[in-house]
Amino acid sequence: MTSDQHAPADQRRDRITISIDAMGGDRGPSAVVAGMARSMSKNPDIGFIVHGPQETLEPLIAKRRGLADICEIRDAKDTVRMDEKPAQVLRRSKTTSMWSALTSVKKREADVCVSCGNTGALMMLSVVRLRKLSGVDRPAIAVLWPSRSEQGYNIMLDAGADIRADEHDLVKYALMGVSYARNGLGIEHPRVGLLNVGTEEHKGRPELRLAYELIEELTVSADFRFVGFVEGGDLPRDTCDVIVTDGFSGNVALKTGEGTASLIGERLREAFRYSPLSRLASVLAYTSLQRLSKKIDPRRVNGGVFLGLNGTVVKSHGSADATGVSAAIKLAYQLTQSNFSEKLAARVASAPALDQDGETGDGSE
C-alpha cells in the first residue's frame, strides 16, 4: 500500500480512490472483488477502500494478484439485505458495510462510492451521510439508456429515487442531467427533453407545463438545448441526450425497457434453437450476434448515478457479475476524473433562484 493512500482524496489527484460496498449484491462479495480486479488491470492509477467483514474480504482479495496492494479493507460486520425496508435499515445502519462505504466519501478518504446493494436503503443512507446539495430538494438516480444517439446512450433521470417531482425538481434534474452528460459522456451541448404523454405543449400534468417554461427560460443563459416534450419512444432514439421525468414514470420506463429487451432476447434464443438449420445459422451469425449483444448488454452500462448529494454514489445492479461491477467502477472512475461532483454543484448553484421556497440542502429529509 502506498503511503499517499491514506491522504484525503481531495489532496491526491494522482490516484482515484473508490469506496466499495462489497456486500449486499445478489452474487455476494466474490463478484464484487472480481470486478475490482478487472478494473485494476485497466486503470493503473485506481485505488480501493473496500467495506465488509474483514475475514470474508481478506482471502478473496489475496487471491487476486496485486489487488491487496491498492486495497484497504474496512471491517463492517453487517450487511443491508435486498429485501429490507429502508426504515428497518436505518435503525441498525451504522454497523453495515453500506454506511461504512458512504462514510469514506463523507470523510473525503474516497472520491466516490460504489454499491450493488438495496437501492432504497442506499439512497436513504446516502442522503443521511452525504446530505443533499444546496439547492436540491429531491436527489435523483440517473441511468444510461442504450440509444441511437451518437454516443450510444441517453441519460434518463429520475429512475426511481423519489416517487414524485414538482416543476422545480424537474428543472434541477435537467441541470444535473446536463452536467452528467457533459462530464460522463463528453457531450458539449446536451439536448434535454421532458418526458410526457404527448409532444404537444398543451398536454400533460400542470407540473410538466410549468417545468417546460422554466427549462426553456434557462436555455437562454445555459449551454444546453431544450427539445421540449418527448415520449417514451424517444428514450432509445436520437431525439435528445437527457430525458427528464419523475421517479415513478422513470422507474416504470426503466423496468419496462429491461423487461421488453429480456423477452425479445429469450424469444430470439428460442428461434435459433428451433431447427437444425436455425442452429447452424446461429453458429454462422455468432460473431455478429455477439457484437449486437455487446451493444445492448445492460451489464456494460451498469450503474445508476445518484445526483444531488455532496459526493457521488454509483449504484450497481443488484445482480451484477464481475463485468457489471467493473462497468460501475469504470463509470465512477470517469466521473471522478472529470471532477464531476464539483462541476455539478457549481451548475446547480449557478441556476437562477427558481423557487422561492427552495431547500438549502440540510439533508434532514
**Residue 299 C-beta: closest distance to a second copy, Å:** 16
Q: Is 258 in the site for a second copy (CB under 8 A)?
A: yes
Q: Closer to a second copy at the Cβ: 223 or 258?
A: 258
* Candidate segments 40-48, 65-73, 213-221, 226-234, binder of a second copy by CB under 8 A: 226-234
Q: Is residue 160 at the binding interface for a second copy, with CB under 8 A as the rule?
A: yes
* Of the residues 284, 353, 356, 364, which one makes contact with a second copy according to CB under 8 A: 284
In angstroms, rounded to a whole number, what is the distance separating the alpha carbons of residues 276 and 272? 9
Q: Cβ 31 to a second copy, closest distance in Å?
A: 21
143: closest CA among 334, 310, 345, 331?
331
Decide if residue 232 touches a second copy (CB under 8 A). Answer: yes
Amino acid at 81: R
d(CA 79, CA 316): 16
User: Per CB under 8 A, does 233 bind a second copy?
Assistant: yes
Alpha carbon distance 346, 137 (integer Å) = 16
- The answer to whether 346 contacts a second copy (rule: CB under 8 A) is no
Provide the grid cell at 354: 427558481
CB nearer to a second copy: pick between 26 and 45: 26
Cell of 232: 417514451
CB-count exposure of residue 166 (10 Å: 0-12, 13-18, 19+)? middle
Among 22, 34, 89, 195, contact with a second copy (rule: CB under 8 A) = 195
For residues 119-152, b (16+ Cβ closer than 10 Å) or e, as one string? bbbbbbbbbbbbbbbebbbbbbbbbbbbbebebe
Q: Which of 135, 31, 181 is nearest to 352 (CA)?
A: 135
Q: Give the residue ranges of DSSP H helices in the chain.
A: 28-42, 54-62, 86-91, 97-106, 119-130, 167-185, 206-219, 247-273, 276-284, 286-296, 322-337, 340-350
Which of 1, 163, 346, 349 touches a second copy by CB under 8 A?
163
Q: Of the two residues 234 and 241, which places its CB atom closer to a second copy in the complex?
A: 234
Nearest distance from C-beta of residue 227 to a second copy, angstroms: 16
Q: Is 220 in the site for a second copy (CB under 8 A)?
A: no
Residue 61 near residue 85, CB atoms below 8 Å: no
Residue 107 found at the interface with a second copy (CB under 8 A): no
Q: Dihedrals φ, ψ of 15, to 5°?
A: -125, 135
Closest alpha carbon to 105 in 67, 61, 51: 51
Among 100, 104, 147, 312, binds a second copy (CB under 8 A): 147
To the nearest whole angstrom, how small is the minimum distance from the Cβ of residue 228 to a second copy? 15
Q: Any contact of residue 139 with a second copy (CB under 8 A)? A: no
Residue type present at position 104 = S
CA distance 98 to 119: 11
| 82, 128, 214, 296: which one binds a second copy (CB under 8 A) | 296
Q: Which three cell numbers stand for residue 321?
A: 457479475
Which residue in 67, 133, 254, 309 binds a second copy (CB under 8 A)? 254
User: 2, 26, 186, 292: which one contacts a second copy (CB under 8 A)?
Assistant: 292
Look at the block and give the residue holding cell 441511468: 143
Element spanning 304, H or E: strand 304-307
Question: Measured from the CB of residue 146, what is the shortest distance to a second copy in angstroms?
Answer: 7
# residues near a second copy by CB under 8 A: 64
3-state SS class at 363 = coil
| Closest C-alpha to 22, from 63, 46, 57, 70 | 57
Binding part of the chain for a second copy, among 37-45, 127-135, 196-204, 217-225 by CB under 8 A, reads: 196-204
Candidates 55-63, 97-105, 194-202, 340-348; binding stretch for a second copy (CB under 8 A): 194-202
Of positions 41, 219, 278, 350, contacts a second copy by CB under 8 A: 278
Binding site for a second copy (CB under 8 A): 85, 120, 146-148, 160, 163-164, 195, 197-198, 200, 202-205, 231-237, 245, 247-249, 251-264, 266-268, 270-272, 274-275, 277-278, 280-285, 287-289, 291-292, 295-296
